[in-house]
Every structure is written in C-alpha cells, then in structure tokens.
C-alpha cells in the first residue's frame, strides 16, 4: 500500500533483524532467526507455518509479551517493550470472561478506561451489530458457538480503538460458515489499521491478506503476496494441500 493511501492511518509494525533464543535442558533453542516483517497501516499480513516454526513467538513479541534476543519491534516508530493499548490481541482460545455477558465482555476495556456506562453500551452494541451478534448481547459465552466466541473476541479487541490487531489462529476449528463470517470481519478491520495474523494453513489466508510470510524452523522460507508465495516450489512442497503443514 502506498504512502499516500496510508496517510492518516495508524499502526506501522516493523520487525527488524529479529531473533529470539531461549535455554532448555537440551541447550539453547533458536526459536526465530534474523526475521524481517513490515505491516503498513491498512494492511493485513499473515505469518504461516506449522507448530513450532516461530510464528507465535513473533506475534507475542509484537504484542509485547516476549522480548527479542537481538533486533527490534516497533509500532509507529516506537519500540515495543511490553503490552500496550495500541495493540489489540485476539487469542485462539477465546479468553472471554465466562461470568460476563457478551456485551459486558465487549465493554470491559472501555469500562477500564472510565467511559460512562451509556457510551460504552452504545459502542458495544454498534460493534456487536457489525459482527452479527446484536441478538446475543445478554448471553454468556458458554451459550455461544466457537465462531461466535471468536467474533466477540475480535470486537472486544477493537472496542478501544487499537492501532494494531493481532490474531492468533482466530479461525482454528471453525466450520466454513464461521470462517467466512470471521474473514469478512477481519477484511473490514484491515481497511483502517494494521492486522497481523498467524495461521498454520496457507489456504485460509488466500483471499483475505495482502502479504504472507511463510516460516520454517524459525526462518523465513518465502515472503510476498499469496499468489507469489503459493507458487514457490519450496512452499508447495512443505505446505500446500495440508491441514497441519
């Protein structure tokens, strides 16, 4: 996306010369090696690869939960040194408060910021309407399907207006209808903020992302738009047509 197109938008993510290692009983484990990722405002970028390839490590570093061994992570030029309100995170396991209703879950961040009750209720209902969940605002999470819970998680992350939306395999285990609904929400979100998603299945991101980074054993195997990456023979051999890669 051009500089002109992104002017006025927020959320430029830059992962530069990023490496992360940790010690285990078997010695030093190199989780990610010398990785570069850029997400411009208004872009949707996916990191794809199998379990253990380093994709969640990168996402958690952008979220501020992990610090690189070498390199740097920045958002709008500011170094990421910990979690921040400008980055909204949606976890694979939903992480909703089971004792709060759908609307109360969405309102939570706004309540913590001191927004008056009437304003946060109105904001929550607007977001739930966008996700097709307005009829479920008084339900508790246990009454929702997995796809519905994930939609609540996404709009809850959006409620406080983050610059960046981080998604940890948000469509894992969903049926086709829920995948299509969540994909549509994510595409809409990506119009005015940076979105970074990790996913193990390359085909899932085909129609929704601008760029893909494919990881293998902590290193970049391929980067580019989906058409370019999917034609790479190394990617086709390692990932195409598999569910678990």
Q: Which of 161, 189, 213 is the last residue of a domain?
A: 161
74 and 184 fall within a common domain: yes
Structure tokens at 130: 């966008």
Q: Is residue 91 part of a domain?
A: no
Classify 226 as helix, strand or coil.
helix
Residues 163 and 194 sit within 8 Å (Cβ to Cβ):
yes
Q: What average pLDDT does the chain have?
A: 85
- pLDDT tens per residue, range 113-164: 888 998 999 999 988 988 888 899 999 999 988 888 888 988 888 888 888 9
Average pLDDT over residues 39-61: 91
Name which of 35-39, 53-57, 139-143, 236-240 the model is least confident about.
Answer: 236-240
Q: Is residue 154 part of a domain?
A: yes
Q: For residue 76, what pLDDT is reported?
A: 92
Q: Which domain holds residue 144?
A: 96-161
Q: Is residue 206 part of a domain?
A: yes
Q: Which of 132, 161, 190 is the last residue of a domain?
A: 161
Q: For residue 135, what pLDDT is reported?
A: 92
67 and 2 fall within a common domain: yes
Question: Can you give the CATH number for the domain in which 12 is found?
Answer: 3.40.50.300
173 and 244 fall within a common domain: yes
Cα–Cα distance for residue pair 92/150, rounded to 1 Å: 8
Is residue 203 scored above 50 in pLDDT? Answer: yes
171 and 154 fall within a common domain: no
49 and 63 fall within a common domain: yes
Q: Is residue 155 part of a domain?
A: yes
Structure tokens at 27: 């010695």
DSSP class of 245: -
Burial of 21 (0-12, 13-18, 19+ CB in 10 A): middle
Q: For residue 174, what pLDDT is reported?
A: 73
182 and 225 fall within a common domain: yes
70 and 176 fall within a common domain: yes
28 and 131 fall within a common domain: no
Q: For residue 158, what pLDDT is reported?
A: 86
Q: How many domains does the chain have?
A: 2
Q: Is residue 13 part of a domain?
A: yes
Nearest CA to 42 among 75, 1, 88? 1
Please name the residue that has the structure tokens 């070498």. Answer: 70
75 and 168 fall within a common domain: yes
- pLDDT tens per residue, range 1-21: 444 444 455 789 999 999 999
% residues pLDDT > 70 (the chain): 93
């Amino acid at each position: 996306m051009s500089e002109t197109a992104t002017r006025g938008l927020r959320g430029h993510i830059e992962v530069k010369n990023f490496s992360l290692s940790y010690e285990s009983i078997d010695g030093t484990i190199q989780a990610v090696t010398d990785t570069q990722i850029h997400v411009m405002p208004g872009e949707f970028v996916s990191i794809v690869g199998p379990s253990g390839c380093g994709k969640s490590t990168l996402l958690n570093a952008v979220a501020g939960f992990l610090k690189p061994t070498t390199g740097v992570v920045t958002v709008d030029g500011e170094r990421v040194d910990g979690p921040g309100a400008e980055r909204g995170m949606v976890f694979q396991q939903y992480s909703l408060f089971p004792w709060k209703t759908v609307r109360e879950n969405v309102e939570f961040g706004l309540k913590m910021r001191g927004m008056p009750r009437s304003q946060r209720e109105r904001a929550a209902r607007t977001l739930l309407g966008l996700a097709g969940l307005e009829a479920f605002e008084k339900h508790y999470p246990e009454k929702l399907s997995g796809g519905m819970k994930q939609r609540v998680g996404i709009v809850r992350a959006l409620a406080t207006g983050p610059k960046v939306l981080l998604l940890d395999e948000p469509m894992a285990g969903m049926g086709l209808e829920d995948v299509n609904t969540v994909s549509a929400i994510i595409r809409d979100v990506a119009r005015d903020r940076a979105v970074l998603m990790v996913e193990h299945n390359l085909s899932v991101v085909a129609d929704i992302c601008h760029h893909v980074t494919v990881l293998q054993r902590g290193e970049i195997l391929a980067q580019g738009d989906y058409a370019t990456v999917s034609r790479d023979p190394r990617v086709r051999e390692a990932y195409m047509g598999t569910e678990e890669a």
